[in-house]
Amino acid sequence: MGYKDVYAGWKADPEGFWTEAAKAIEWEKFPTRALNDDKAPIYSWFDDGLVNTCFNAVDRHVRDGRGDQNAIIYDSPITGTKSAITFAQLQAKVAQLAGALKAKGIETGDRVIIYMPMVPEALVAMLACARIGAIHSVVFGGFAAHELAVRIDDCTPKAIIAASCGLEPGRVVHYKPLLDGAIEQATHKPEFCVIFQRDQERAELIEGRDYDWDAVQEGVAPADCVPVPGSHPAYILYTSGTTGAPKGVVRATGGHLVALNWSMKNIYNVDPGDVFWAASDVGWVVGHSYIAYGPLIHGNTTVVFEGKPVGTPDAGTFWRVISEHNVRSFFTAPTAIRAVKREDPKGDSVKRYDISCLRALYLAGERADPDTIEWAQKVLGKPVYDHWWQTETGWTIAGNPAGLEALPVKVGSPTVPMPGYDVQILDEAGHPMKPGELGAIAVKLPLPPGTLPTLWNAEDRFRKSYLTAFPGYYETGDAGMIDEDGYLYIMARTDDVINVAGHRLSTGAMEEVLASHPDVAECAVIGVGDSLKGQLPVGFVILTKGVNRPHGDITAECAKLVRDQIGPVAAFKLSVVVDRLPKTRSGKILRATMVKIADNEDFKMPATIDDPAILDEIRAALQTIGYAGA
* 185-193, 345-353, 387-395, 533-541 -> range binding ligand AMP (CB under 6 A): 387-395
DSSP string, 24-69: TS--SB--S-SEE-TTTTS-EESTT-EE-HHIIIIIHHIIIIITTS
Question: If binding is defined by CB under 6 A, does position 527 make contact with ligand COA?
Answer: no
The one of ligand COA, ligand AMP, none whose footprint includes residue 454, by CB under 5 to 8 A per kind, is none
Residue 307 C-beta: closest distance to ligand AMP, Å: 21
- Contact with ligand AMP (CB under 6 A) among 57, 160, 364, 442: 364
Smallest distance, ligand AMP to C-beta of residue 239, A: 5
Which CB atom, from 281 or from 475, has the smaller least distance to ligand COA? 281
- For residue 630, with 0-12 CB atoms within 10 Å meaning exposed, 13-18 middle and 19 or more buried, which class applies? exposed
Confirm or reject binding of residue 568 to ligand COA (CB under 6 A).
Answer: yes
* Of the residues 336, 452, 479, 526, which one makes contact with ligand COA according to CB under 6 A: 336
Residue 308 engages ligand COA in binding (rule: CB under 6 A): yes
Closer residue to ligand AMP (CB): 53 or 391: 391
> Which 479-498 residues touch ligand AMP, going by CB under 6 A?
490, 493
Tell which one of 368, 447, 513, 569 touches ligand AMP (CB under 6 A): 368
Q: Does 132 bind ligand COA (CB under 6 A)?
A: no
The correct pick among 84, 103, 173, 206 for binding ligand COA (CB under 6 A) is 173
Residue span binding ligand AMP (CB under 6 A) among the ranges 189-197, 296-304, 380-388, 567-575: 380-388
Interaction of residue 536 with ligand COA, rule CB under 6 A: no
367 binds ligand AMP (CB under 6 A): yes
Q: Which of 235, 268, 388, 462 binds ligand AMP (CB under 6 A)?
A: 388
Contact present, 34 and 46 (Cβ < 8 Å): yes
What are residue 621's phi and psi, to 5 degrees?
A: -65, -45
Instruction: Name the residue among 148, 138, 386 with its Cα closest to residue 281.
Output: 138
- Pairwise CA distance, residues 236 & 153, whole Å: 13
**Contact between 333 and ligand COA (CB under 6 A)?**
yes
Near ligand AMP in 285-314, by CB under 6 A:
285
What is the three-class DSSP state of 552? Answer: helix
User: Cis (ω within 30 of 0) for the bond into 446?
Assistant: yes
The pair phi, psi for residue 221, each rounded to 5°, is -80, 135
439: contact with ligand AMP by CB under 6 A: no
Sequence-distant (≥ 6) Cβ neighbours of residue 426 within 8 angstroms: 432, 433, 439, 440, 441, 442, 470, 473
Q: Are the C-beta atoms of 360 and 382 separated by less than 8 Å?
A: yes
- Asked whether the beta carbons of 137 and 236 are under 8 A apart, the reply is yes
414 binds ligand AMP, rule: CB under 6 A: yes
Among ligand AMP, ligand COA, none, the one that 380 touches (CB under a kind-dependent 5 to 8 A) is none
Cα 279 from Cα 265, distance rounded (Å): 19
Kindly state the smallest distance separating residue 526's Cβ from ligand COA, in Å.
17
Burial of 221 (0-12, 13-18, 19+ CB in 10 A): exposed
Are residues 383 and 364 in contact, defined by beta-carbon separation less than 8 angstroms?
A: no
Q: Which residues are within 8 A (CB) of 74 and not within 5 positions of it... i.e. 6 or more apart?
A: 81, 82, 83, 84, 85, 119, 120, 303, 304, 306
CA distance 295 to 269: 11
Residue closer to ligand AMP, measured from CB, 99 or 439? 439
- Choose the one of ligand AMP, ligand COA, none that binds residue 86, judging by a C-beta under 5 to 8 angstroms depending on kind: none
**Which residues here bind ligand AMP, judged by CB under 6 A?**
239, 285, 364-368, 386-388, 390-391, 414, 477-478, 490, 493, 499, 504
**Which residues here bind ligand COA, judged by CB under 6 A?**
141-142, 166, 168, 173, 280-281, 284, 286, 308-310, 333, 335-336, 339, 365, 500-503, 533, 568-569, 571
